[in-house]
Amino acid sequence: MPSPKAKNPVRSGGGGSGLGGGGSPSSTNNGRYDFMSLNRTPPPRQGGSGDPVAAARGRPRALSESPTRRRGSGSSTGSASGMPEEDCMKLNPSFVGIALSSLLAIDLWLSKRLGVCASEDSSFGSIRPLMKLIEISGHGIPWLVGTAYSLYKSDTAAGQEVILNLFMALLLDLVLVGIVKALVRRRRPTHNRMDMFATFSVDRYSFPSGHATRAAMCGRFVLAHLVLAAPLRVLVLLWVVLVGLSRVLLGRHNVTDVLFGFWMGYCQYNLVELLWLSSQSLQGLLVPLA
């Protein structure tokens, strides 16, 4: 009986039986040729100018090229190239910031709608001369000139004391309004025409309204220190309101400029009462001038 080993051909050939020796298939296995050299990986070349593509195929993939590593590097690169964390926080404004922005938008919109006398071509441009007359009645120069003349003509100590404090209050109002305007630097409305009477460099700013502060302060001063009948007291209050309203109708100021001006003038009167100059102080000021 023949041995089973005789039927199985030898796979690994010696001198010239294999592909490694003579370049031909070594033997058959169920009718198929077994090429041993195809399963071998050629060793990498040491130096020389070999094929870089073949050399790259023979090397294993580096750890930095793994999908997980690439995803991590991509996310880190995106976070590094994006905005800083503190800048991202600024994209979420607070409730106070949103409320102030909304109030500012309403203020600008309402001021533009109420500027019906900003020019002669406006819807109520025909009453613009009347509004400008009210504007002059609240200007600082007529008040200072009129107060100085009244102080010169006054012949009683009580009258001189009241008029002198009114004059000092007007000077204080000019200084405080000028300081606030220089600090805030809010521009006047875009529909305003700069044709005001006797303006200065600081008058190009809008906040607060100097006419409103002066009207509120002088209104409180007159009502507190002058004995007036009821109709005259009503006229004083009406004048204060009309001065503030004319600033918006003429397009000189925004609504918030006038409202803050009223509040500032109301508080300025309290400061005037705190710094009130008595008749003795007045005599001490007038004696060196005599």
Residues forming the active site: 211, 253
DSSP one-letter string for 70-122: HHHHHHHHHHHHS--HHHHHHTS--HHHHHHHHHHHHHHHHHHHH-TTSSTTS
User: Encoding tokens for residue 179?
Assistant: 């300081």
Residues forming a β-bridge with 32: 29
DSSP symbol at 233:
H
DSSP symbol at 46:
-
Dihedral over alpha carbons 158, 160, 166, 171 (to 10 degrees): -150
Element (H or E) spanning 244, and its range?
Answer: helix 230-249
Q: How distant is the alpha carbon of residue 209 from its chain centre? A: 22
